[in-house]
Structure 1
């Protein structure tokens, strides 16, 4: 047999072998081939990473969304988080408003269930309601550790924005430790809340009281506020929302469930009723003491009605909001210096803060 008859077959086999080798990762050593291989490898890695992230999202949603409910008050609609299997649900005080009974739709109820208010704590914009009947399979959420929340963490916001129940949006933790004052327009409580978690996840009307969740399936906060852009009137500023940290949720809700009310707020108080005053140029210039609460920190320190507070510690006080924000970051029992004006003279006194 003529050996030359096999040469084309051998050449074809060699070409096929080289083709297979290229597909399996070997190369002919050219720069173009190396670039192609790197691109293919990067694309495969990106697909693998993307698939893993999607799988993580789906698992979190499957685990946590059944613990997020829709709450319908008479004139307002919001969300809530199942606190325990006994039917306690934590939400925002501004969601419950002045109502005592609510229609709650859970993941396991085809029809709304009746719930009743246990206690509302507007100072922290938190409230607890309790289902009259606990449906089978009610699942309590896991509350995370606020101390472990870090900027850059991926988070999911779950709730009923604009009445769209069981909606999920995605973002990151944009900042921690924010002190935010809530307006009274639109049913807000006017509370000043410390240590808020800022997020880029979309927070819209109806998300209030829902869940801000990390990829471990833990609720790290209760979405409460969306920032507003003054240029848009009352329009929300996209990508800037705030959630009450889980540590505060556990503290407040735990007391309400156990004692029926908040017994230890952990919030510092000066013990006055005050109002913002302006100077001759109509600029905010301090907080006038309207009333000194009997037995409170201000009375013990000798502050009187008519005094105008201008500084607390090293912070200038120009409005009632600025005073509230400083107090929100303090603790009961802290000793601070209060600078105030009385009869045109500036005075300073040390005050041991009480509890709100």
Structure 2
């Protein structure tokens, strides 16, 4: 009897050790999986019934019920510099571009909100970058009314995507679909938290794919790859939106666009509207791109971008006539980056890119969105036409070229000089005594303000000590000019101080 007891105890201990070891192995294996792999494993073990809607009488009840628990309300707190304002005809202008007069600034907190989509049961949530950018605090409200604090894992304005995480387990999540298989006219649902309302579902159809709107990214940064050569300053962002007439409003940003089977096909991002409210069209980032970017954030914290290494011109009626080509679609290669992926594969100036991975290239979005799914070192099949004959080549994508980046820097310097001249001001280094009296570590003194310049327009006075330009500390005129090269979205940010208090200015400039 004693032997039987010892044998049983040994078996129990051995089984516990085996189960514990398996759980540790299982967790490590799970941590190394992509989000798509995690979802496949989950649904392989927990098969769901197929959700089919009738095209004659659409029924989205099952799709909505499956998706709504996985779409969350995101609330953010952002600390900004505020000021006491009086009534002024320029109040609206000031609200967008800063404070034209020197006023004592005080920190203030602003609240914002958007939506997010849970993509794994261990608390990873995808949303838009513009929802969580610069947030001091992010809270996530689940459909069961739980509120959890979230941290940012990674975000990127060029894709307007962000990955955040809450400390929770066994959360409901939304299953990835295939945005490549979406068809024009297919029914879709938009799920989110618009206009401060609770979870809301709207329905519509896919009205277009591959839309480029020029909404994302920083138009003051010039990409060393994949940019139209007839545009000296272009957007580095990747845009290939799904267009839908499902109602999307403020607060829907970061929410889910799903098909009638309840599968995630896009992340709602923008609306086209003259009023700021829904006026017919909404836009979503396709999930085929979202899933790759989320894996990059989880593994690296930043997006891993591979580049083809070309300058191009989309073929349209104007370029056909100017370039004397007969092709109806494709991208005309205006130049290739030295030692870039395209040059190494034999692509030359004057070639026309017609397909990528067998898919016809009708616009730059067709190339950029496909390439954006890949990383440096990945291979991609490109079809190009030369002398009327098509040829297939396989490119190995490369990371950003540093030499080209140096050329971009020179372009920025020229732009900085232009902005500097438009300021209409002169500067001298602040003395050590001035810095000490004002309690600052850097600064230049405005010694002259010329009539007609930007400083004159915004009421900047002589004697103001400017400590930072575009968030860079400045101590002389050269540093002011250098910092102006970091101007983003045509908005110059200036911080200063005087005997009356601190000043923060944000004003627009044109090149």
Instruction: Give the TM-score of the pair, scaled to structure 1.
Output: 0.58
User: Following TM superposition, by how much is the alpha carbon of 1:239 offset from its aligned partner in structure 2, in angstroms?
Assistant: 1.8
By how many angstroms is 1:218 displaced?
0.2
Cα displacement (A) at 1:139:
0.9
- 173, 176, 190: which one aligns with 2:209: 176
Gaps of 5+ in 1: 1-47, 272-296, 302-310, 316-322, 337-351
**2:310–2:337 CA contact under 8 A, matched in 1:** yes
Aligned pairs for 1:118-129 within 5 A: 118-129=153-164
What per-residue deviation string (whole Å, max 9, x for no partner) do you get for residues 172-227 of structure 1?
Answer: 00011222321679xxxx76333321101111111111000111110100011111
Question: Does 2:168 match 1:134?
Answer: yes
Name the Cα RMSD after superposition.
3.6
Whole-Å separation in 2 of the counterparts to 1:59 and 1:115: 29
Cα distance in structure 2, aligned partners of 1:100 and 1:115: 11
Aligned partner of 2:299 among 239, 253, 258 = 258
Structure 2, gaps ≥5 residues long:
1-52, 78-110, 219-234, 312-335, 341-348, 354-362, 385-395, 401-511
TM-score by length of 2: 0.42
Q: Who is 1:149 aligned against?
A: 182
For 2:237 and 2:289, the matched residues in 1 are separated by 13
Deviation string 1:38-94 (CA, Å, 9 cap, x unpaired) is xxxxxxxxxx979963xx311111100000001111142111100101101011111
1:282 is matched with which residue?
A: none
Q: Tell me: CA distance 1:181–1:324, structure 2 relative to 1, closer, same or farther (3 Å).
A: farther
Q: CA deviation at 1:130?
A: 0.5
Q: Please, which of 350, 361, 368 is the counterpart of residue 328 of structure 1?
A: 368
- Spell out, residue by residue over 1:153-175, the C-alpha distance to the aligned partner (whole angstroms, 9 max, x if none): 11110001111121111100001
User: Secondary structure of 1:216's match?
Assistant: coil
Shift in alpha-carbon separation, 1:313–1:81, aligned structure 2, 3 A: farther
1:59 equivalent in structure 2? 62
Q: Which residue of 1 aligns with 2:119?
A: 83
Contact 1:207-1:223 within 8 A present in 2 as well: yes
* Structure 2 CA distance for partners of 1:236 and 1:193, relative to 1, 3 Å: farther
Could you say which residue in structure 1 is the equivalent of 2:243? 198
1:218 to 235, 245, 263: 263
Bigger share in strand: 1
Find the aligned partners of 1:314 and 1:329 in 2 and give their Cα distance: 18
SS for the counterpart of 1:62 is helix
Aligned residues: 241
Change (3 A) 1:89 1:215: same
| Superposed displacement of residue 119, structure 1 | 0.5
Deviations 1:203-260 (A, max 9, x none): 11111110001111101000111113xxx3x545622111000100111112222333
Aligned match for 1:161, one of 177, 185, 194: 194
* Matched residue SS, 2:279: strand
